[in-house]
Chain A
Amino acid sequence: MASVASGRSLSRAIAPYAFVLPPVIYLGVFMFGPLGRQIWMSLTNTRIINPNAGRYIGLRNFERLFSDSGFYDSLRITALYAAASVVLGVMAGVISALAINQPFRGRAIVRAILLFGWAAPNVATSLIWLWMYNGQSGVFNDIAMALGLERINWLTSAEMALPSILIVTVWQTAPFVMLVILAALQSTPEEVKEAARIDGADRLNVFRNVTLPHILPSVQLVSLLTAVWAIRRFDIIYLLTGGGPLGSTSTLVVKIRQTAFENYELGMASAYGVIGLVLALLVAAVHFIVERKRAQWMAR
């Protein structure tokens, strides 16, 4: 009996580790392993054409990187793109969620239409937008001409390229934000709202004092995700502008691609990647600090 009991307690002790083991192996093989390799490569002069022949060169890649004005430009563009993606994407998503949360006829159809941007593959989406932005035969310039305006160089002018990409980004990320916020909205307790209304709160006050605090954690989460995705986003930017014109859309990720696949400098590209990783970690750290402070405040 004792041995059966000790066997049970042993298996109970092992069970959590057994459950955790598969994801640990997965993360180790597919995430931490490559990550470690990337960090190592950032300290070498590895070329993509011969990835096993890289030589250790210390921090020389980072020295080159920090002395290159193009790096600071790409950092600035990445930050601008990420911030605008978060602000506009989350705002559009929250507004859509609030609208779609109201009962009206055809709500399911509208919801499906709004979700299309999220469901469509990025490459297909980018190619469709590329055509719509086309200077000669794109629908946006057709509209501009119909309104008596000049043709607009949506993707070929340094002023318009980033805003044009942001429009596509928001069109694509807002539906996801909408879904998450909608779920949060639908779990908002109706009785609290009702109580607020009975106490004389108008719609704006109900939203500000009941709905908003309830959906705020979800807003924070989607903001974090949107920011990290924006820092990592490559396909839309690369397909629409390739980082141009005049580097106006050259984010860190586009720079990584250019360094690795056009200049063949895998070591240098890895150094760019490490900076990108630090950026993403910083965003995540800010989120967790804010989240912890909020939890502490709630616990008081």
Chain B
Amino acid sequence: MAFRLNSRRSFALAMLAVSGAAASGQIALAQSAKEPVTLVIANSQWVDALRGKNLWNALLKYKQVAPHVTLEQEAIPSSEFDNKMTTEFGAGLGPDIAMMQEGLFYSIADAGYLVDVSKAVEGVKNLNRTNDNGVINGKRVGVAWQRAVYALIYNKPLLDAAKVKPPSNLDELIAASKAVTAATGAIGFTSRHQIADFGGWFMDFQNWAYGYGVNWVDGKGKLTINTPQAIAAMAAFKKMYDAKIIPIGDTMPTQRTRFKESKVAFSIDNSGGTLNIASGGALAAKDLYAAPLPFEHPGAHQQIFVGVSTHSKKQKAAIEFLAWLVSPDGQQALRDASGPDALATDVPITEAFRAANPWAETFAELAVKSRSTLIPGREVDTGPIMRTVMEALEKVLVAGADPKIALAEAQKQADSKF
């Protein structure tokens, strides 16, 4: 008799089957639905060199559990991902499942386009805190895919050649960068610094902001843009910008390629970006190291959530897939392709990976205290609010404006707009 998921009861049975498979290693889910089904999964990471292929191969392991399910990629470059997703979801179309950066995830959830996926995590006892923000208005609409924390990464051979140590504050970073350039000719430091890179820049800048103790909102939910901490963070960024240690005008892909080709000493990047840098370039993974950010306070992380679309006609199959994803088998498959990124459950990185990638350990340690790049309580509006902040920063960098005045203007704008 064909087992079809037509009722809550049968669905609960399917979930039980998933748990059983997870516990015993047996393949039970395949029995839950035998009709062929194709799930379209959207993710910007599919286009990443090497990492995209590895992540996709990890998901294809689902075939072993559910041979009737065909997984299909919707691969969109990260620069266009948000636009494409919002347009598709808005038009009532789009993928069945999407891996979304936290900001997009909140917007899509806010519009009511994500289904309740609480059944996918029923019985999963070891979900970690990276899943907390997947619950919106009391409803679980997403589970964690990856959390990529930021660190200061460095090219150890270049530092050794210049006889410098990893810096622990901004002045040391500037001095070390200059020393490496003087000794080797390599670029000292790379950092996003242009409004053309806004989407990535504001998230990167949160490391500086949080590093100097910024909270963009107070306890009552009021926006606090022009605080002494924010002024200090902007002044620090300006100091770095003026120190002539970064290649002005380089886009992030160019910066990462330069790092990959062993032409950069330091950068602040997240673990996902670092995994990319460590894969298949001139810089061997064993020569890439990471240190805590050179700031007093902990930095930020980027979080990606997985959600199921309300427009999908295969929601049950999609939720089954999510159930597999958070199961030990799914998590282990994902771990092998995710570098040190935190996953939905605590799956330790393997000894072999740790040994081959000395940078990985630091990221894992920093993940304990990192903060979301989104403004608490203003998640949907974080992008527009941060545009106001970043435009103020741009005035400081390009036009030499006083951070205090630029932020006071930004505060006024934010107060009138949000």
Contact = CB atoms under 8 A, between A and B. Distances in A.
Interface string B383-404: 1100100010011001100000
A47 B199 CA distance: 19
A135 B247 contact: yes
Between A49, A138, A241, A243, the greatest number of chain B beta carbons within 10 A of the residue's beta carbon is seen for A49
B249 A154 contact: yes
Contact of B384 (A130, A156, A263): A263
Interface in A255-300: 258, 261-264
Interface in A40-73: 47-51
B364 to A, nearest CB: 33
Nearest to A241: B196
A135 B248 contact: yes
B11 interface: no
Interface in B197-229: 197-199
B250 A262 contact: no
Contact of A262 (B108, B187, B249, B387): B387
A154 B395 CA distance: 17
Q: Chain A interface secondary structure, helix, strand, loop or mixed? A: loop
A203 to B, nearest CB: 45
Interface string A122-138: 00000000100111101
B128 interface: no
B111 interface: yes
Contact of B82 (A244, A245, A247, A261): A261
B194 A244 contact: yes
Contacts of B395: 246
A156 B398 contact: yes
Contacts of A136: 187, 247-250
A236 interface: no
A245 B90 contact: no
Given A51-B91, A153-B249, A158 B198 contact: no
Contacts of B195: 242-245
Given A135-B248, A263-B383, A263-B384, A157 B398 contact: yes
Contacts, number: 79
A243 B194 CA distance: 10
Given A49-B90, A135-B247, A243 B398 contact: no
A267 B298 CA distance: 39
Interface in B36-83: 82-83
B110 interface: yes
A155 interface: yes
Contact of B250 (A135, A244, A261): A135
B7 to A, nearest CB: 31
Given A48-B90, A135-B249, A242 B197 contact: yes
B103 to A, nearest CB: 10
Contact of A49 (B111, B187, B391, B398): B111
B295 interface: no
B133 interface: no
A134 B249 contact: yes
Given A136-B248, A136-B250, A264-B107, 12 more contacts: A48-B87, A50-B111, A51-B91, A134-B249, A156-B194, A156-B249, A241-B196, A244-B394, A245-B398, A246-B398, A261-B82, A261-B83
20 contacts: A48-B90, A49-B86, A49-B110, A135-B249, A136-B187, A136-B248, A154-B249, A156-B194, A157-B398, A158-B398, A244-B194, A244-B195, A246-B395, A247-B391, A261-B82, A262-B198, A262-B384, A263-B384, A263-B387, A264-B107
